[in-house]
Amino acid sequence: MNYNNIIYLKKELDKIKILFEKKEFNLVIQKSKAILKENPNQAIVYNFIGLSYIQLNEIENALEIFLLANQKLPSEPSILCNIGIAYKNLDDISNAKNYFNKAININPKHLPSHINLGHLENNLNHSEKAADYYLKAYNLDNNSEEVLTYYILNLSARGKFVEAKKIILELNNKFPENTKSYQLYSKIHKYKLDDPHQKLMLSKINIPNLNYEDLSNLHFALAKSFYDQKNNEKFVHHTLKANELKFKTFKDYNFKLEEEQFEQIKKHYENFHFQNHKDNKGENLIFILGLPRSGTTLLHQIISSHSKTFGAEESHVMSDFFIKRFKNENSLVNFFSNELVDKDIYSKLSDEILSKYKMYDQDKIIVDKMPFNYKWIGFIKILFPHAKIIHSNRNPVDSAFSIYRNVFDSPGIGWAYNQDYLTKYVNLYSNLMSFWKQKLGNFIYESHYEKLVTQQVNETKNILKFCNLKFEDSCVNYTYNNIPSRTISVYQVRNKIYKSSLNLSDKYLNYFPFLNQIKKKAP
């Protein structure tokens, strides 16, 4: 390659990189293919094409281009790693592991492969295995913002709060403008008066050029610190500011889509005869669902402490199925079509979904606590008539209050940061659950959070009986079990049940008027 061609190639690659960052993925593919005609051995160009296909959810095309690149450049770790990423997106875990390890065998210090192996195990809730890979990644590069963050999240999930705090402070020092680190710290820290970490956050609040996301992280963390200190005025101030800023990050959010989806669901199942769709499937599945912050994590820890179960945490199996099959979770037109009436199709779909759940554990009952699965109860009933569904039913005012003072990793829940939308969403959810209860009756077990907290042993026995599980002391003593938790409740579930969470919202009704609106409509 002559000098002029090198200069030309560098300029074109810079342009492609900019296009990729701007998410102009179709243009990236077009321009990259043009470059390959003259430079067929450029690994970075193949990677740009493949990664663009992944972003466009065209995983098969991505895999094809990566495998072609591998033929030309069989010893290139980045390509091997990206083949692994493609297989991971196709839920082919075996091949994904194989290619990540191939990359590491060629280059033991290939950081992305270690990280992706960590992600793979983490997604299967195999937190201890994930920890090994994240630790290796940390030892390879403890100056990587990405590596530090993932290592922190893994430590927190496993209840290693002291170690997590240490790494968070390391992240603070190395990347002072990473406000996510302050929010992560606040989740696992109990603030006292004159807390130095609170003072540190207050000193950062006026950092220039912070975007809405960064500022909201700081305000959520500060709100948590003042909540711990029982400083209501400052807690309310920072909570309102945090939500105001966070909601601004949802530029194209349309609440009408939420309303339409709930209506579509009820409309479809209103005259549906579930008894016509029977199959002996689902006996190894337990679904825990309900509003966020309703006690789903607590139920998950209790049931997953049983010797015959495996806790999958907030599994995305159901939601990913809809997104991948129908492209858009909010568009249910295709889902509610006549093609799904055929029993053979039902059987095929149930086998497909079951295979995803078996990746967690082949032999145990899988516990899926994704709260939003309440949308898919009808679908679950059809495909898995022997599955167990447990509805975590908490005082909706308490749930709404807890939702509003927390930040979530889920990208699509803009309603959580807007008082009006949150009020409306709680109502939509309540109406839908009443609909399911009327349609399906005993298929759903109503676990009242308040009853679980005040009558733990008795309610635990009732829940296990519903799940056809014998009572085990481990389910009551769940805090002693090493079950990972990656939710907002990561700190709370490491402690014994406390009754102070009951009617917690009552003292804040005057501070947040929207809570009174929810209270008026509460059953």
pLDDT at 252: 86
pLDDT at 473: 94
Among the listed residues 165, 113, 115, the one whose alpha carbon sits nearest the alpha carbon of residue 135: 115
Burial (CB count within 10 angstroms: exposed 0-12, middle 13-18, buried 19+), residue 37? exposed
**Structure tokens, 417:** 């940061």
pLDDT at 412: 82
Q: How far apart are CA 440 and CA 434, in angstroms?
A: 10
pLDDT at 273: 78
pTM score > 0.75 for this model? Answer: yes
Q: Give the list of residues 6+ apart from residue 64 with CB closer than 8 angstroms, or none.
A: none
C-alpha torsion 149→151→157→161, nearest 10: -90
pLDDT at 338: 43
Provide the residue type at 503 as one letter: N
Q: How far is CA 58 from the centre of its chain?
A: 22
Mean pLDDT per 10-residue interval, the chain, length 523 residues: 63 86 91 85 87 92 93 92 94 94 97 96 92 95 92 90 93 88 92 94 86 94 96 97 96 90 87 70 94 93 95 88 58 47 72 91 95 91 92 96 91 93 97 95 94 94 97 89 69 66 86 92 73
Q: Give the list of residues 6+ apart from residue 271 with CB closer than 8 angstroms, or none.
A: none
> Residue 77: phi, psi to the nearest 5?
-60, -35
Q: How far apart are CA 412 and CA 253, in angstroms?
A: 8
Q: How far apart are the first and last CA of the chain?
A: 74
Question: Domain segments of the chain: what residues?
Answer: 1-108, 255-521
Q: Does domain 255-521 have CATH number 3.40.50.300?
A: yes
Q: Are 179 and 143 in contact (CB under 8 A)?
A: no
Long-range Cβ pairs for the range 133-137 (8 Å, 24+): 137/111
**Structure tokens, 390:** 């447990």
Q: Are 438 and 416 in contact (CB under 8 A)?
A: no
**Structure tokens, 102:** 């191939």
Q: Are 222 and 235 in contact (CB under 8 A)?
A: no
Q: How far apart are CA 451 and CA 437, in angstroms?
A: 19
For residue 309, the surrounding DSSP H or E stretch is strand 309-311
Q: Does domain 1-108 have CATH number 3.40.50.1970?
A: no
- According to DSSP, the β-strands at 365-368 and 285-289 are parallel
No. of helices (H) and no. of strands (E), the chain: 25, 5
Q: How far apart are CA 80 and CA 71, in angstroms?
A: 11
Q: How far apart are CA 411 and CA 424, in angstroms?
A: 19
Q: Are 151 and 118 in contact (CB under 8 A)?
A: no
Q: How far is CA 389 from the centre of its chain?
A: 20
Q: Give the list of residues 6+ apart from residue 334 with CB closer than 8 angstroms, or none.
A: 326
pLDDT at 523: 67
pLDDT at 318: 86
Outline where 22-126 has alpha helix (H).
25-38, 43-55, 59-72, 77-89, 93-106, 111-123
Q: How far apart are CA 157 and CA 184, in angstroms?
A: 12
- Per-residue exposure over 160-171, b if at least 16 CB sit within 10 Å of its own CB, e if not: bbeebbebbebb
Q: How far apart are CA 445 and CA 93, in angstroms?
A: 33
